[in-house]
Structure 1
Amino acid sequence: MLFQVGGQGTRPTFFEMAAAQQLPSSLRAALTYSIGVLALRRPFFHKVLDYEDEFFALLMLVLEAHSLQTTDASFSETLYGLRRRTVQIRVKKDRPRLTSNETIHHSGLEKHQRVLSVVFLVVLPYFKSKLHSVYNKEREARLQASLWGPGDDRFDDVDYFDGGEGSLASSGSLNAETSVGTRLTKKIQKVIAACYPWVHATSEGLSFTYQLLYLLDATGFYSLGLHVLGIHVCRATGQELMDTSSRISKIRSRERERLRGPPWLKALQGALLSCSYAVLDYAQTGLIAAVFIFKMMEWWYQSAEERMSAPTVYPPPPPPPAPKVAKEGIPLPADRTVCPLCSQKRANPSVVTISGFVFCYACIFKYINQYKRCPVTLMPATVDQIRRLFHDV
């Protein structure tokens, strides 16, 4: 059951239905991201982002209405070769319940089913998105009020100089100027903030329940909307695809015959119809291909920019040569653990940073404090350039 991906029978697999349902949200995310990138160079696209819900709802309204009218399927279902069919169960009179011997007959969609399908596919998701945004704003306002207090109680510069009387007068004037519409809007927002979590949880629970039942072959409806409309989603056959193309050509020929007016007006209307038909016919593949090409180009240029902006890794420079022993300096002993100054084993070993040679701390401190130089290289040094070593070398 879980691995029915071969496309056998007319019933789509769970994976096909899940992919068709998730395609609009994925397409919206890709379009929003693409417009956001374009808005970095063209500020005009920021207006599109300000009305993101309305823009995407209008786009999907055109695509879904055209797809349901011509193919009896939604925009995403046509990409997977699926079709919507009205469920008509044939039951014998003496057997009221449907058994395994009865069959379910599917027929084309009716006009009201197409309209309601658009409502379930476009209108309801739009209102759900708006409710979600209102809920998020109200939740942020409550969080901000819990941290900083309500907006009416916030202090400003006038409150400090008025000694409290001005604050009371200003709050009274603000309450007087508050309109009834604003108060009603705030109440509606509070009601939405209180009810939306329950509505969202109920919607997600019903959606999960129908998907689980569909996966277990307990129902033929993938969602509550399909069950309410009495619609099954089936795989399209080759004959159905041919019938769809012939039906589209007949519809368009009838629309061209309805054109009225002088010849130049008919030619103009015919050109507009041809352009609209071409846009609608190639909107599915064109939209998916455009998003894919944009993401591929973005990945290409982003990887090129990363290569150009990445710092060049050079090999580490060779260590500097060891300082030379001066002719008039103190010679180094053969044993490296012996102090060159006292010729005894080093006690509290300390290094002179300008030369790197190690001595006893008391010996080198007295020598540098008196002669202001390294005893081996005779390079100028101060007592501040002596460093204590915690591991003798």
Structure 2
Amino acid sequence: MAEHGAHITTSATDDRPTIFEVVAQESLMAAVRPALHHVIKVFAESNPARYGPLWRWFDELYSFLDLLLQQHYLSWASASFSENFYGLKRVVMCSSSGARTLPRREYWKSLLLLVLVPYLRVKLDKLVNRLREEADYSIQNPLSFRKRCYKAILASYPYIRLSWEGCFLFYQLRYILWNTQHHSPLLRLAGVQLAGLTIEDLQAMESRPEKTKSVLSVGSIVKRALGGVSVTLSSSLSLGVFFLQFLEWWYSTENQDTIKSLSSLPAPSPPIHFELETYSPLLPKLKTVCPLCRKVRVNDTALGTSGYVFCYRCAYYYVKNHQRCPVSGYPTELQHLIRLYTPDG
């Protein structure tokens, strides 16, 4: 029985990576975004005025840094960061040339698919989550055309997500059982396949930075600066692999009891007032007045992130547009709205 499954861990050719290598390199980049997202969230909660924009524009900033990182590794090693970390490279399908760099067409296709597809997927997931929250908290007419479109998107999205994941699973099963050269449809769209690094590839990568240009232009200076940023990011990510594994263990289900025991601390002091130009930063003296509209509250609603109470309509539209608490500036989403019901209401 063992010899029939030997092809799963060994390759038909020497440079063909195993399924464990390709899955491991994909899981590496999948773990980087949540870890950085959590770090930015901690900074935003500690100082909303300074780090709040980083929280609101995290997806765009992360995609930009990812673009620099992937561009550097595709130019230097013909591979993404995670592929190079596991000793893999990208080669053109059915190519007889011995070139060690990707052609221009495959290079740009690989770069766009590595950066643009994850960004669009995250944005689509957030859009669907926002529509679900609006379906639960919205005060719009349920029979309106916009509401029906939202329901159609929410109803079709699980099938779209199932088809997407099923396509990747189908390619992985083909890669394991039928000895194809692509474990992902994105590689086929890019026109490349993965292969293992050779000694000649490592020597070429080591000698490549030694080549310098005698004439410096503005474009070359900018390119070198971006390359330096990319190298710094790649070095930091390489050193942060252990930190990511530690975070994964820290938030595992087996470690929840330890987290609860460490987090059972006294209640913190009230959040600071956040200076905004839209209203006076001072809270109203009467506890029944909404800090946003300055009128007696209607349908009292508290924000779970700060504890301040507003009118439901005021809190709903402000959080929907700004993704933060109007008073403290803490990162807030629609799911943090908590309706308060008085005994006489």
1:294-340 Cα distance to aligned partner (Å, 9 max, x none): 886997xxx89968989xxxxxxxxxxxxxxxxxxxxxxxxxxxxxx
1:71-109 Cα distance to aligned partner (Å, 9 max, x none): 11011111111100001178xxxxxxxxxxxxx988742
Taking only aligned residues, the RMSD between alpha carbons, in angstroms, comes to 3.9
Give the structure 1 partner of residue 131 of structure 2: 138
2:68–2:227 contact (8 Å) kept in structure 1? no
CA distance in 2, matches of 1:141, 1:275: 43
CA distance in 2, matches of 1:6, 1:88: 18
Does 2:78 correspond to 1:75? no
2:11–2:17 contact (8 Å) kept in structure 1? no
Give the structure 1 partner of residue 235 of structure 2: 285
Give the structure 1 partner of residue 35 of structure 2: 30
1:30–1:291 contact (8 Å) kept in structure 2? no
CA distance in 1, matches of 2:242, 2:80: 21
CA distance in 2, matches of 1:213, 1:46: 45
- Aligned AA for 2:216? R
Does 2:57 correspond to 1:64? no
Secondary structure at 1:139's aligned position in 2?
helix
CA distance in 1, matches of 2:166, 2:244: 36
CA distance in 2, matches of 1:223, 1:195: 24
Give the structure 2 partner of residue 21 of structure 1: 26
Query: Which deviates further from its counterpart, 207-216 or 275-284?
Result: 275-284
2:21–2:86 contact (8 Å) kept in structure 1? yes
**TM-score, normalised to structure 1's length?**
0.54
Give the structure 1 partner of residue 279 of structure 2: none
1:31–1:291 contact (8 Å) kept in structure 2? no
Residues 244 and 68 (structure 1), Cα distance of their counterparts in 2 relative to 1, 3 Å cut? same
CA distance in 2, matches of 1:290, 1:113: 29
CA distance in 2, matches of 1:53, 1:142: 24
Bigger radius of gyration, 1 or 2? 1
Give the structure 1 partner of residue 16 of structure 2: 11
CA distance in 2, matches of 1:282, 1:118: 19
How many residues of Structure 1 are paired with residues of Structure 2 in the alignment? 251
CA distance in 2, matches of 1:106, 1:204: 34
Give the structure 2 partner of residue 214 of structure 1: 175
CA distance in 2, matches of 1:220, 1:308: 48
1:88–1:105 contact (8 Å) kept in structure 2? no
Give the structure 2 partner of residue 151 of structure 1: 140
Ranges in structure 2 where 5+ consecutive residues have no aligned partner: 1-5, 251-257, 266-345
Secondary structure at 1:257's aligned position in 2?
coil
| Pairing of 1:45-194 with structure 2 (within 5 A) | 45-88=51-94, 108-144=101-137, 150-152=139-141, 189=150, 192-194=153-155
CA distance in 1, matches of 2:78, 2:237: 20
1:148-186 Cα distance to aligned partner (Å, 9 max, x none): xx5348xxxxxxxxxxxxxxxxxxxxx9xxxxxxx8x87
Residues 129 and 76 (structure 1), Cα distance of their counterparts in 2 relative to 1, 3 Å cut? same
- Aligned AA for 1:111? R
CA distance in 2, matches of 1:304, 1:131: 32
**TM-score, normalised to structure 2's length?**
0.61
1:117-144 Cα distance to aligned partner (Å, 9 max, x none): 1221111221111111111222232344
* Identity over aligned pairs, percent: 28
Secondary structure at 2:93's aligned position in 1?
strand
- Aligned AA for 1:134? L
1:48 shift after superposition: 1.6
Give the structure 2 partner of residue 258 of structure 1: 216
1:329-356 Cα distance to aligned partner (Å, 9 max, x none): xxxxxxxxxxxxxxxxxxxxxxxxxxxx
Residues 105 and 215 (structure 1), Cα distance of their counterparts in 2 relative to 1, 3 Å cut? farther
- Aligned AA for 1:123? L
1:66 shift after superposition: 1.5
- Aligned AA for 2:133? E
2:91–2:194 contact (8 Å) kept in structure 1? yes
Give the structure 2 partner of residue 348 of structure 1: none
Secondary structure at 1:88's aligned position in 2?
coil
- Bigger RCO (CA 8 Å, 6+ sep): 2
Give the structure 2 partner of residue 239 of structure 1: 200
